[in-house]
Structures are given as C-alpha cells and as structure tokens.
Structure 1
Amino acid sequence: MKIMEKAAAKINLTLDVLRKRDDGYHEVEMIMTMVDLADRIEMQELPRDTIIISSQAGYIPLDEKNLAFQAAKLIKDRYEVKHGVYIHLDKKIPVAAGLAGGSSDAAATLRGLNRLWRLGIGDQELRELGAELGSDVPFCVTGGTAVARGRGEKLEFIDSPPGCWVVLAKPPINVSTADVYGKLRADRIERHPDTAAVIEAIRQKDFQALCGGLGNVLEEVTLSLYPEVRQLKDCMVRLGADGVLMSGSGPTVFGICAKESKATRVYNGLRGFCKEVYAVRLLTKENN
C-alpha cells in the first residue's frame, strides 16, 4: 500500500522574539499560516526493517540528516514498528528558505506513517512527536493558521487570514537560522510586531490592517548580512505588493496581494530579478 501526503510551505505573518531563554533558545511569538506551495511525500511499506529515502532533488541529504528520515525513525522506535518504509520526497519548496520545507516534510511523514501503519495517534500526540524534531514541526502537523509561542511548539489555532495571493521569491543564497538568531540581540529590539493587532485583523478579515501589521524582528539581522534580501524586498515593494515581509530567518521574501492581476504583475517583475519565484494562493479553510 502507498500513502501520499502533501507538505505545504509556511510563511510568518509576524515573528517576534521576546527574550533569550536560560536554555539557550529564544522565546518567540509569531503568527504562521500556510501557502499552496507544497512537497509531495509518497510512503510505501517495506518488508525489511529499514528506512530508505529518495528525491528528485539533488541538493538534500537522504540519510539521518533528513528530517523526514528522523520522523520515520522516531515513529518506528516509539511505537516499536518492525516494518520498514520507502519514502520519496517530490520537492517543490526551496531548501533553507525560511518556508519550513524540511519541517513540513517531517510532519507529513508523521501523518502518513500514522495512516500507513494504522497506529491511531491523535493530532496532539503527533504534534508532541513533532516537537522532538524541530520547532516548526508541530505547526506543520496540523497546518492552518496559528499563533506559536515558547520555542514555537505552543500553538493557539486561529481563523484563516482573508483569502489572497502570495508571491514568494528566494534569492540564490542560503541563510543559517542559527547564525541569524546568534546575531540577534533580543534586548535591543526597537520595534516589535503588534501580534494582537494582526490577530484582530485576521478575525475581522481586514486585509489592509493585516498588510499594515506584518512584522519580523529577524529582518534587521538578515537584511544587514545579506544585501540581496534587502534588494529583493525593496523590489517587491516597488512592484506594488500590498504587504511585503521576509519569512522566518529568510532569505525568502513574500508579498501578499488581494488581486490576482497584481500578483501576476509582481511575479512577472521579479522573474528578471530572481530565478526562484512562485505565485500561489494562501491556504484557507475554504481552499485547503
């Protein structure tokens, strides 16, 4: 039997860092939602006790360094599954882009193996497993739209934002999340996003207020380290996207547009500036 799972990319509508914790992690508060750019994960049971991963993408690890591999090993060990599994990753989400591609693959693997092996694990338990793999994985297990706190594992699910188009652009560089957080001085952040105002804008389906409330405290660090990201953000603003923000620690920048015609104009304008550009819909409860 084969199981297929979709692993959607996430973007941060807000990303705030409140303080550095005693355990070395940062206390965050951020609003995450998903877009219709997705990897496809195919899983097939193997008779021998092994995990095999393949992908058409030549730039990702296919061993224990891969988060999907780690997810499969975690669920096999925790539930004493003696079967093996073959996992194929059809990659569409850019790697090391601030879009949680690896985390979403891991979450899809947890969901798929739960079905393949009929383990009957509930969503909360799947999210707890995901938290052992990475801070974004619990959110990716369920998807939707959520406020994430703590290290990102404490989730409060909220309404979907108003439907819109999202143009994503990734410059040809990779950004280390650890490096960005390492250079962030949480005690010197001058302007924090107003998370409560953005939650209210989403609740009211107020697109303009949502655009005005976008904010990411990691932008200042990444934009100072990588001028290409600043240039890309400035270009997207000039092209007329309604709201523009860097996702996660970067380097992907996204623009949200109320109308498809504007998204198309932004997309076409960026194509000459950046190779990896995508125009997709925001995933809402209506089109998920």
Structure 2
Amino acid sequence: MRISVKAPAKINLTLDVLAKRPDGYHEVEMVMTTVDLADRVDLTLRGDDQITLDCSASFVPDDIRNHAYKAAVLLKERYQVPYGVHLYIDKQIPVAAGLAGGSSDAAATLRGLNQLWGLDLTLDQLAEVGAEIGSDVPFCVYGGTALAKGRGEKIVHLGAPAPCWVILAKPPVGVSTADVYGQFRLEHVKQHPDTRRMLRSIEEQDFSLMCQSLGNVLETVTLNLQPQVRQIKELMIASGADGVLMSGSGPTVFALVQKEAKVHRIYNALRGFVKDVYVARMLGSQEREILA
C-alpha cells in the first residue's frame, strides 16, 4: 500500500519575538499561511518494521536528522506500531529557506502514517507529536492560516486571507535559524509588527491592509548577515510588488501581488538576479492534502 501527501510551504505574514524563555527558546507571535509551492511525500508500507527514506535532493539527510524520518520514528514508538514505512520526498521547496520545508515534510509524514498505519488519530494528537520535532510542525499539521504563539506550537486557526499571488526568491546563501536568533536583540527592535491589524486584515479579507501589516523582527538581523536578501527585497519593491517581507529567519523573501500582470514583471526582474524564484498562490484555508 502506498499513499502520497502534499507538504506545502509556509510564509510568515508577521513574526514577532516577545521574550526569551527559560527553556532557551523565544516567545513568539506569528501569523502564518500556506502557499501552493509544495513537496510531495510518498509513503509505502513495509512488511518489516524498518523506517527508510530517500529524497530527490541528494544533500538532504536520510536518517534521524531528517524531520520526516524523525516523525515516523516518534509515531511508531509512541503508538507501538508493528509496521515499517519507506518514505520518498520529492523536494520542490528550497532547503533552509525560511519556508518550513522540513517541518512540512514531517507534518505530511504524520498525516500520511496516520492513514497508512490505521492509527485514527486527530490532527490535535498529530500536532502534539509534531511539537516534539520542531516549532513549525504543529502549524504544518493543520495547514491553512493561523496565529502561532508560545514557541510556535500554540495554534489559533484563522480564516483565509485575501487571495493573491506570492512570488518567492531565495538567494544562493544559507541562513542558520540558530545564528539569527543568537544575534537577535529584543531591546534593539524599533518597531514590532502590528499583529492585531494583520488579524483584522485577514478577517476582512483586506489585501491592502494585509500588505501594510507585514512585519518580521528577524529581518534586520538577516539583512545585515546577508546583503543579497536586502537586494532582493529592494528589487521586488522597485518592480511594483504590493507587499514584501522576508519569511521566517530567511533568506527567502516573498512579494504579494494582486494583479497577474505584475507577477511576470517581478518574476523576470528577479530571474535576472537569482536562480531560485517561484510563483505561487496562497492556499489560505485548510485542505485535505492526501492525494491517493
């Protein structure tokens, strides 16, 4: 038996850091939404009890360092599953990009194994397992649009934002989330995102207000670490994007555009500067991502 599950990328419409926690993590408040740039996770039932993994991207680890592999191990141990699984990940989301590709693969694995292994768990139960893997995994289990609090694991579901195009550009540089948070200083933040205004823009499906409410307190840190990120952002703005922001800890920057004519202009301008440019649509609401 084999099933396939979509693993969509996420973008941060807002990312605010409120405090440093005693456990070493940061207390955050984020509005996140999924886009239709997605990996695909194929899950094949094994007759033995082994967990194996292959990936279309050769540099992605195929062991416990991989979030999807770790998700399978945790679920198997937690519910004493006597079966195994072979995972194949078709990577479309760029790696280490601030788009939660690894977390989404883990979430897709949890949803897929829930069906493949006949566990009959709720999304809430799967999200609880996901929280042990990474801060973005619970959001990715649910998908759609949400306000995330705590270290990212406390999820409040939201309606879909105003529909629009999303153009994503990733420079050929890596950014370590740990390094970005390590250099982040809460006392240096001059302006926090207006999360309440972003929530209002989503409730009212007000595209203009959503663009005005974009904000990410980690952006300044990454812009200083990687000047190419700043150049991409400036190019998107100069090319007529309605709203521009870095996602997560970067280095991917996204542009929000309502008119399709602008999409081609911005895409072509970016392609002359970086190789990894993607055009997507907001998924907005939760959808069933098990394909077969």
TM-score relative to the length of structure 2: 0.97
Q: Does 2:196 correspond to 1:206?
A: no
Deviations along 1:195-229, one digit per CA (max 9) or x if unpaired, are 00010011111111110110000001000111011
Deviations along 1:86-108, one digit per CA (max 9) or x if unpaired, are 00000000000000000000000
Mapping for residues 97-112 of structure 1, pairs under 5 Å: 97-112=97-112
Shift of 1:286: 9.2
Q: Which runs of 4+ in 1 moved over 2 A?
A: 284-288
Shift of 1:287: 8.2
Q: Which residue of 1 aligns with 2:116?
A: 116
Q: Which residue of 1 aligns with 2:179?
A: 179
Q: Which residue of 2 aligns with 1:9?
A: 9
Q: Are the counterparts in 2 of residues 10 and 32 from structure 1 also a CA contact under 8 Å?
A: yes
**Percent of residue pairs bearing the same amino acid type:** 59
Q: Counterparts of 1:153 and 1:256 in 2: how far apart (Å)? A: 26
Q: Are the counterparts in 2 of residues 19 and 187 from structure 1 also a CA contact under 8 Å?
A: no
Q: Which residue of 2 aligns with 1:64?
A: 64
Q: Counterparts of 2:269 and 2:187 in 1: how far apart (Å)? A: 38
TM-score relative to the length of structure 1: 0.98
Q: Does 2:231 correspond to 1:231?
A: yes
Q: Counterparts of 1:213 and 1:252 in 2: how far apart (Å)? A: 19
Q: Counterparts of 1:26 and 1:280 in 2: how far apart (Å)? A: 30
Q: Which residue of 2 aligns with 1:42?
A: 42
Q: Which runs of 5+ in 1 are unaligned?
A: none
Q: Counterparts of 2:28 and 2:110 in 1: how far apart (Å)? A: 25
Q: Which residue of 2 aligns with 1:33?
A: 33
Aligned CA distance change for structure 1 residues 286 and 165 (closer, same or farther; 3 Å): farther
Q: Counterparts of 2:183 and 2:57 in 1: how far apart (Å)? A: 31
SS of residue in 1 equivalent to 2:156: strand
Shift of 1:164: 0.2
Q: Counterparts of 1:126 and 1:19 in 2: how far apart (Å)? A: 27
Q: How many residues are aligned here?
A: 288
SS of residue in 2 equivalent to 1:32: strand
Q: Which runs of 5+ in 2 are unaligned?
A: none
Deviations along 1:136-184, one digit per CA (max 9) or x if unpaired, are 0000001000000000000111111100000000000110000000100
Shift of 1:279: 0.7
Letter in 1 for 2:39: D
Cα RMSD for the two superposed structures: 1.1
Per mean C-alpha deviation after superposition, the further-off stretch among 45-54 and 88-97 is 45-54
Letter in 1 for 2:13: L
